[in-house]
Structure 1
Amino acid sequence: MPTVINAKSVTRNVGWSVLSKTSTFGLKFVTVPILARILTPEEFGAVAVALTVVQFLAMIGGAGLASALIIQRDEDMRTIHSVFWANLAISCLMAIGIFVWAEPIATLLGASEAAYLVQLMSVLIPLQLGGDVAYALLARRMQFGKDAFWNMVSESAGALAAVVLALAGFGIWSLIAQLFLSAIIRLVGLFAVSRYVPRLQMSVRRVIGLTRFSLSMMGSEIANFVSFQSPMVIISRFLGLADAGAYSAANRFSSIPNQVVLSAVMGVLFPAFSSMMQDSARRSNALMLSTQVTTVLLAPMMFGLWALAEPAMLMLFGQQWAYAWPVLGLLALSKGVLTPCSTFIPYLKGVGRGGTLFWWAILRALITTAAVAFGAYNGSLVEAMIWLCAVNVVVLVGYSLVVFRADGTPFVRGFLICCRPMLSAAIMAGAVRLLLERYGDLVPHAALQVAIGAVIGGLIYGAIVLATERPLLRKLKDLARKRSPAAEASPAE
């Protein structure tokens, strides 16, 4: 790759990405509860079901071709232009197809009344795929700061527009406006900062040459998408749009910490691991360090949200959503279980293990779909979420086996090191939940319960981390002290 990747560049780009996600986190922390108070669960559910279809087809349409550009040694413009036109052609065909077949698709998903939304949102497919090549060029050049800026602008504009329109009484159309405005601004921004100008050049041979990598990536991404989105489809079909709306609202909020940390880190780690493909020692050190750090940061957020789900749901979403607090807690718990997996997918992609990633993603999609369907068909939304948590425990062990085997790290050693922060977070969350159950009545206001619980949880978790993660803290301290130009130019260890 043309860009030298070292400790300084990786840290800087992760910082930009985290800053971008943190800014949008702040807006969503405010806007999602506001929208949930104004809109009905059915409106949330209808948009969520339609968006699931669009996102699924957008993932297929990309076919992983843009990802294949990232790992190419040189920026061959003829290949880049060919990928752009291939993506555009595929996305337009899919948009036409989903527009024509919107009614049977919506009926199949148990939301026939959302057919008009499926038609309208089909336009999002070319809008989303149109910027893939521009983003791939920024990723190749490790210019995530430019992407971060436009991500902040697009997400902020969309969120603010949604709130204004919802307050003005536009209802479900406020959510539609949010999606379109964000997509258009991001598309324009990506082309502006990448300075990519499509030319009328097309080489079918070069596009086909990228498919060996891109098809395995497409398969694994589709399988991961099914894992994440199949619960929405199942809930809509078996339990109705109201439960789908409750799941959507809880899932959107519980996903915010993931969006802040994981999406920021994963985008940078993919090209970083790719550059270390021939250096096993350096790659292994980077894997363990990045996994520990992301788990230390993310696990307490997710397990803490599980502990405080009841007052948090009431405080943020209002009384009409209070019944869904177990859903919010269980979703946070299911995501918390997977925090050590945060770096596994970019690692397998970066070291060229697309086939392994594909088959394990397929297996995960199958067991996730089956488990959630079993819980929803035979019980309720809460039971479906309990099954989701159980499946994610199995997924954690399975991905750990695959990654540590590929890395040459002994499984038991690697698993214990990476999961130790998650265990600390679970102990903290259990203590906070116990205190809330016993003494919560002494603090009748939900917001005070959340604030006090967060402070107590932070103190407990901080004490446990100081006692159990001293080697990691020393390593981070040493990295922070390396300020000299020579140190910053050295490869990440």
Structure 2
Amino acid sequence: MSLSNKTAIGILWNFSDQLLRRGMASLVTLLLARLLVPEDFGLLAMVLVFLTIASAMMDSGLQQAILRMPTLGPRDASTAFFSNIAFGVLAYGLLYASAPLIADFYAEPRLIVLVRIGGIVVLINSFEVIQGAMLNRALDFRTRMKAGIPGSVVSGGVAVLLGWLGFGVWALVGQMLTAALVTTALMWWWGSWRPRLEFDVVSFKAMFRFGYKMFLSRMLDVLFVNLYVLLIAKLFSASVAGLFFFAERLKELVINQLVTAVQNVTFPALASIQADPVRLKSAYRQILQVMVYLLFPAMLLLAALAEPLFLTLLPSRWLAAVPYLQLMCIAAVMYPLSTLNLNVLKVKGRSDLFLGLEIVKKVLICAVLAVTWRHGVMAILIGQIVVAVVSYIPNAWFSRELINYSIREQLADFLPALLLASAVAGTTWWAVPALLAIWPAPVVLVVSGLLAGAAYLLLSCWLRFAAWQYGAGWIQERLSQRKVGNTAC
């Protein structure tokens, strides 16, 4: 099977996995929003800041190092596996010891036990990282889906039950722990890779030489992505932090659904052709065109339909999060562009440049936050949009240097989708208030969403967008192969 076909099938399996898991997560989140209050989500947001930092320490960039290695021996994989477990124990130990300091920082004593119990997820995930990386290398996303979906279903059921019984924030913690435990157990049950009792110091140094820069980059990213929640929880209240976190969670359900499905597959696939700059550039152009074709309308239409969505699915106590979600969606439009350009650096092994760009972006975030934090949450979110747009420029600059994919070429590849999605979403956003005045919110949500989606698809087909043609060509190729196979039988 060709690399393009194998990659496309991998994307479909990964997308199906993401769709089912994120769909379940969306349903559970909406059910929990009816059972819990914003303060419960705010407490979880405070905890997750530090759990995410500990998880980055546990991974330490070894997963990325394994994915980009041209050849990987059993000794290398075992070395990475035991290293991750050691890093996980260290990360949890630091998290456990720092729990009282975290509680003092927020002036919230309940966080001590929440951090210590919730932090167990770091230990559980340390057993999953390399097993998952081995499946990714093989582009075996079917097994990942088989393991992930039961984890989402079981953990969702546990969360809803705990929420219904009145356990508050512990419903969210229980969901997180159950998902990690079930998914990790099933991944080992169905995965074929097993570690050996061996450790290679030379191999560890080689992987860590690349991985530690990725770890530092991710640590910076984690710190500054969560800086917004940390700052809002500190300056305002747990309820305001909960509204912000809930809006961010809804945005992530959409953006991770689309971006993660493509990125998880394309990084190991493109790493295999890293020595061929012509093929690499061509592949990246196609990936960018497909990703923005899907993501731009998804994020902008989510912003346009946020109010009827909340009115339809959530209690009125969550309506204050609508403008938060809308601004987050606008900022997220730049996410696939920056992600793909940074992926070029990883594929090319330039973790030094990756780290340098992360430092530059974090300086920019600090500068924007220094201006906006005094003016409230809305100003902070507008600052996020500014950071997203400005950060794209240095990210794209190195793609020109490494694979000759210039900013001008990128603009030509993504501007058509951006302009069309903006026009459709803008029209929808303008029409929604008038429609809500005469129709119930569920009717506005369904009718507006269907009309906007159909308009985007039909216009993109009429304008012969490249992403549309890629999809049609791939489907025709698959049908032709199936016909040939049936004829041969």
TM class, shorter-length: over 0.9
Distance 2:69 2:330 in 1: 38
| Cα deviations by residue, 1:175-227 (Å, 9 ceiling, x for unpaired) | 11101111111211222222333333223232112122111211222233234
Distance 1:94 1:472 in 2: 42
Distance 1:486 1:63 in 2: 43
Distance 2:290 2:437 in 1: 36
Q: Which residue number corresponds to residue 421 of structure 1?
A: 417
Q: Which residue number corresponds to residue 477 of structure 2?
A: 482
* Structure 2 spans left out of the alignment, 5+ residues: 485-489
Q: Which residue number corresponds to residue 441 of structure 2?
A: 446
| TM-score between the two structures when normalised by the length of structure 2 | 0.93
Q: Is structure 2 residue 241 aligned with structure 1 residue 230?
A: no
Q: Which amino acid aligns with 1:476?
A: G
Q: 1:319 aligns with which of 316, 320, 324?
A: 316
| TM-score between the two structures when normalised by the length of structure 1 | 0.92
Q: Secondary structure at the match of 1:170?
A: coil
Q: Which residue number corresponds to residue 248 of structure 1?
A: 245
Report matched runs for 1:94-133 at 5 Å.
Answer: 94-108=91-105, 111-133=108-130
Distance 1:90 1:221 in 2: 15
Report matched runs for 1:238-387 at 5 Å.
Answer: 238-372=235-369, 374-376=371-373, 378-387=374-383
Distance 2:360 2:483 in 1: 43
Between stretches 385-394 and 471-480, larger displacement belongs to 471-480
Displacement of 1:45 after TM fit? 0.8
Distance 1:422 1:356 in 2: 28
Q: Which amino acid aligns with 1:454?
A: G
With over 3 angstroms needed to count, the CA separation of the structure-2 counterparts of 1:315 and 1:398, relative to structure 1, is farther
Q: Secondary structure at the match of 2:146?
A: helix
For the 8 Å contact 2:102–2:111, the answer to whether it is kept is no
| Cα deviations by residue, 1:36-56 (Å, 9 ceiling, x for unpaired) | 121111111111211220111
Displacement of 1:487 after TM fit? 13
| Identical pairs, percent | 21
Between stretches 104-113 and 46-55, larger displacement belongs to 104-113
Q: Which amino acid aligns with 2:10?
A: N
Q: Which amino acid aligns with 1:222?
A: M
Question: Over aligned residue pairs, what C-alpha RMSD do you find?
Answer: 2.2
Q: Which residue number corresponds to residue 491 of structure 1?
A: none
Aligned residue pairs total 483
Q: Which residue number corresponds to residue 203 of structure 2?
A: 206
Q: Is structure 2 residue 135 aligned with structure 1 residue 138?
A: yes
Q: Which residue number corresponds to residue 456 of structure 2?
A: 461
Distance 1:111 1:380 in 2: 22
Displacement of 1:112 after TM fit? 4.7
With over 3 angstroms needed to count, the CA separation of the structure-2 counterparts of 1:359 and 1:253, relative to structure 1, is same
Distance 2:187 2:398 in 1: 35
For the 8 Å contact 1:66–1:132, the answer to whether it is kept is yes
For the 8 Å contact 2:396–2:406, the answer to whether it is kept is no
Q: Which residue number corresponds to residue 190 of structure 1?
A: 187
Q: Is structure 2 residue 48 aligned with structure 1 residue 48?
A: no
With over 3 angstroms needed to count, the CA separation of the structure-2 counterparts of 1:461 and 1:342, relative to structure 1, is farther
With over 3 angstroms needed to count, the CA separation of the structure-2 counterparts of 1:49 and 1:87, relative to structure 1, is same
Q: Which residue number corresponds to residue 391 of structure 2?
A: 395
Distance 1:386 1:321 in 2: 20
* Structure 1 spans left out of the alignment, 5+ residues: 489-493
Q: Which amino acid aligns with 1:87?
A: N
